Structure 1
């Protein structure tokens, strides 16, 4: 395992205060793409815990349009001005993968806590550099792997820890979507860290790590697009104690994005969208299948990670026990091994 506890700890940590009562965490968003808009919309759903106060972009006009749309007080037309804003507690980095390291490093060096979209960086070396900055400066850093704080996934882990399906022996997971080839599209562009693996495959790989830990062997095959990044990838993770993980990701087909966790006494199946599911089916030997449902996530599902950041910062923590930095580094090492196997390398490396 990667050290993530099986249940949420009680929220009894000290509050963020400003000369008195608890106040919302002050967020800034760096970048203005679609996921930044979605995250901004979800922050509005937790007003007692989050206040969106600033946005940053390389363009003043783009930042101002984003601020106008979401009612944000301050719009910064440069990353440096944004990082230097004194009235932010935490930054959500929403840039494309290839810019994660530079964006997150700038904010960490400015003393800002950072929630950075997945994958944390393009490769392990870049991720380690960010972790080193965060730990040296004693500043909070967390990869935005929302699956790890998803209530359905947390409930699954509790059941497995209680022995509901016995010892886990295999994990199967797939995340595939249809994105027709366009050389300029970020998912097909090596300059932007494109390919199925880093955008989609990071979820099945992270899911396998969550359940089985660091693999002892990594094998992979992929078809590469004309620009040299993967558009259809299969991954096999092996463990010396016997378990295996069979994983896939693709930009060429729309799938149900299923996952199954198979144990010696039963299995757990996610029928679709395992990475932000609202439930699953528990199959136990000698029992009828049991459907486990969790309350619907508010909005688009990003509130869980925002609340986890707030909980950690109120507790004075510099990383989350649910998305520990060493776990993120371990996943990045596996992704590096997959890319080495399939022959994908990015210009920025």
Structure 2
């Protein structure tokens, strides 16, 4: 397991910079190539991170025979076309969340990855971080009894700018797909797909959702209360209530390295204390999958991504939020 994996990144925004920074801490990973829509931006990025190859075209990177896997970090409205292009060129793909604009797009992406026998995974980095692994283990083992309720919020005050992605419907803008996906993910991870869903949203003048209040109801009696917003900044915390304990995540819950477990006996504080952005856990997992010849992750499967996409689709249906990609595959 000492092979060095050559990574390529397409789409060189803020997330790509954090990913590239963490990747450089892994001895068996090499950031071999980066691509942007302009060669100048690719060269600027490659200079900052000392990358050997810079491309002014996504396809040129995908054609490079030395690239083992491509991290797709473009805005999510482009994930479908970018991922299909990478797969067509025979590349394994880690695609940033949300993997697609809807379940229909995702099914086509999964179908091509299976046809080509290529690795494909959604880049839901939170799933591989130590704090989430710990909470999932507590739920799986029923260490403190059954999970009764999940509360999760992710909110920040975003400047209203119709030209920027967050409020631009043509770029897949809106709170649900950008940040609301994290609370929804947490509920699915710990409680599974709900039997009933409720959702209430507020919309901007550009037609995207600014804030959401979502409730999941389960036949077991368990519930999930989930919120996301661009209208205010909160601590973005999460709480998981078990029969015999409450687990509180530090701020912000999707990337924290701290947990507090409250029981009748007192409070147990856990600090996972890693100095990076946290992407290395996901990167190491992907490389382990590639080493084993897997075409999907056993820890965040394509079926799990599909369930997440289908749940987001149903929430949007309740909200009345429709994107152009819902009307056709593209």
| TM interval, short-chain normalised | over 0.9
Deviation at 1:220, TM superposition (A): 0.5
8 Å Cα contact 1:165-1:262 kept in structure 2: no
CA distance in 2 between partners of 1:130 and 1:173 (Å): 29
1:122 is aligned to 2:124: no
Structure 2 counterpart of 1:333:
310
Deviation at 1:320, TM superposition (A): 1.0
Deviation at 1:151, TM superposition (A): 0.7
CA distance in 2 between partners of 1:92 and 1:72 (Å): 15
Structure 2 counterpart of 1:289:
267
CA distance in 2 between partners of 1:80 and 1:271 (Å): 40
| Aligned equivalent of 2:185, options 195, 201, 206 | 206
Match of 2:86, SS state, is helix
1:109 is aligned to 2:55: no
CA distance in 2 between partners of 1:167 and 1:340 (Å): 30
Deviation at 1:162, TM superposition (A): 3.2
CA distance in 2 between partners of 1:347 and 1:162 (Å): 42
Q: TM-score, normalised by structure 1?
A: 0.91
1:143 is aligned to 2:122: yes
RMSD of aligned residue pairs (Cα, Å): 1.2
Deviation at 1:57, TM superposition (A): 1.8
Unaligned runs of 5+ residues in structure 1 are 1-14, 16-21
8 Å Cα contact 2:19-2:279 kept in structure 1: yes
Q: Deviations over 1:54-110 (max 9, x none)?
A: 011222222222222221111111122111110011101000010001111111111
1:343 is aligned to 2:320: yes
| Aligned equivalent of 2:8, options 20, 28, 33 | 28
Deviation at 1:163, TM superposition (A): 2.7
8 Å Cα contact 2:131-2:257 kept in structure 1: yes
8 Å Cα contact 1:30-1:94 kept in structure 2: yes
| Aligned equivalent of 1:260, options 209, 217, 239 | 239
Runs of 4+ in 1 over 4 A off after TM superposition: none
Bigger relative contact order, structure 1 or 2 (CA pairs below 8 A, ≥6 apart): 1
CA distance in 1 between partners of 2:306 and 2:140 (Å): 24
Unaligned runs of 5+ residues in structure 2 are none
8 Å Cα contact 1:26-1:50 kept in structure 2: yes
Deviation at 1:317, TM superposition (A): 0.9
Deviation at 1:288, TM superposition (A): 0.9
Q: TM-score, normalised by structure 2?
A: 0.96
| Aligned equivalent of 2:168, options 169, 178, 189 | 189
Structure 2 counterpart of 1:69:
48
Q: Deviations over 1:243-300 (max 9, x none)?
A: 111000000111111111112222111132111221211122x311111222x22421
8 Å Cα contact 1:164-1:266 kept in structure 2: no
Report the count of equivalent residues: 326
